[in-house]
Amino acid sequence: MKQRQSFLLVFVIIVFVSIYLGRDSLASFVWQKYRAPQVAVFLDRSNAELAMFIGNYYFNGVIGGGEYNLDIAEKAYQKAVSINPRILWGHYQLSRIAFVKGDYEQALAEIMKELKANPENLRSLYVRGLIYGYRGQAGDLAKAEADFRRFTFWAPSEWAGYNDLAWILSKHRKYKEVKETIATAFREISESKNNPWLWNALGVAELNLKEYKNAELSFGKSKQLAERLTEEDWRRSYPGNNPASAEEGLSSFLQAIDENLRRAEGQR
């Protein structure tokens, strides 16, 4: 009986808010009071910011404190761009979700829309570089290299741009340019010499250039730093990935460094 009365009370409140305040206010009410994202997104007609908030809650984990649901996030971002096709980060986030799902064509289409809607948002170049790097079609490596170079020029203090530029250059077997890229990162970014990803990238270049002693030192430094990483550190470095995969991702990274170190030591 009490359960039925509670349901009727909630129903009456929803009807009241809907009649007197409108669907957008009802969407905000449903989200804030009941954390019902599907209902809130369905009811939302013109509040693109609310849709973006819900999307971020279930994707980035920045607002949601670890909550992660790609399907809910995707629907929320789709609602946001349907309301305002030019909203900053809307198509960007849809691109990232498609990338995480492995749909590189959709990811590319969405990031192109973001660049068209918000050409000043050059962070899109980083995402597009990743898409080209993973898609692997003819000419994609050159496109990825160009995007990462433009991104590092635009954001010279962000280590991920240098790291992924080094990754693409290694695929091109441009190992001397990898060394130059990592040297630039070390010079431009304070504390970058405490970054295990950059040391590992440098070690890979040195190994392929047959600089085995230097490679061993670089991989040793990478291993030392990577062993200090926590799962929280990993999630911060890969905010679009499922937080539940952090343990596996960190473990795989450590194994890769160990394998690289063994290869370098075996050449002595």
The closest alpha carbon to 114, from 100, 130, 129, 128, belongs to 128
CB 111, CB 124: distance < 8 Å: yes
Is residue 41 scored above 70 in pLDDT?
yes
Is residue 203 scored above 60 in pLDDT?
yes
Is residue 20 scored above 80 in pLDDT?
no
Residues contacting residue 1 through CB under 8 Å, at least 6 positions apart: none
Reported as a single tens digit per residue, the pLDDT across 100-155 is 999 999 999 999 999 999 999 999 999 999 999 999 999 999 999 999 999 999 99
Residues contacting residue 219 through CB under 8 Å, at least 6 positions apart: 199, 200, 203, 257, 260, 261, 264
Reported as a single tens digit per residue, the pLDDT across 90-103 is 999 999 999 999 99
State residue 266's pLDDT score.
85
The angle that helices 48-59 and 23-34 make with each other, rounded to 10 degrees, is 30
Residues contacting residue 202 through CB under 8 Å, at least 6 positions apart: 166, 178, 179, 182, 218
State residue 160's pLDDT score.
98
Task: State which amino acid sits at residue 121.
Answer: N
State residue 64's pLDDT score.
46
**Predicted confidence band at 50 (pLDDT cuts at 50, 70, 90)?**
very high
Gap between the Cα atoms of 134 and 114, Å rounded: 19
Query: What's the chain's length in residues?
Result: 268
Model's pTM, two decimal places?
0.89
**Predicted confidence band at 225 (pLDDT cuts at 50, 70, 90)?**
very high
Gap between the Cα atoms of 78 and 44, Å rounded: 12
CB 128, CB 163: distance < 8 Å: no
CB 168, CB 144: distance < 8 Å: yes
Return the CATH number of the domain spanning residue range 172-268.
1.25.40
**Predicted confidence band at 15 (pLDDT cuts at 50, 70, 90)?**
low
Gap between the Cα atoms of 108 and 105, Å rounded: 5
Gap between the Cα atoms of 88 and 54, Å rounded: 15
State residue 16's pLDDT score.
55
CB 52, CB 70: distance < 8 Å: no
Gap between the Cα atoms of 259 and 195, Å rounded: 18
Q: Domain-by-domain residue ranges, the chain?
A: 172-268
Residue 230's Cβ-count burial label (10 Å; 0-12, 13-18, 19+) is exposed
State residue 240's pLDDT score.
86
State residue 66's pLDDT score.
53
CA angle 165, 168, 172 (to 5 degrees): 130
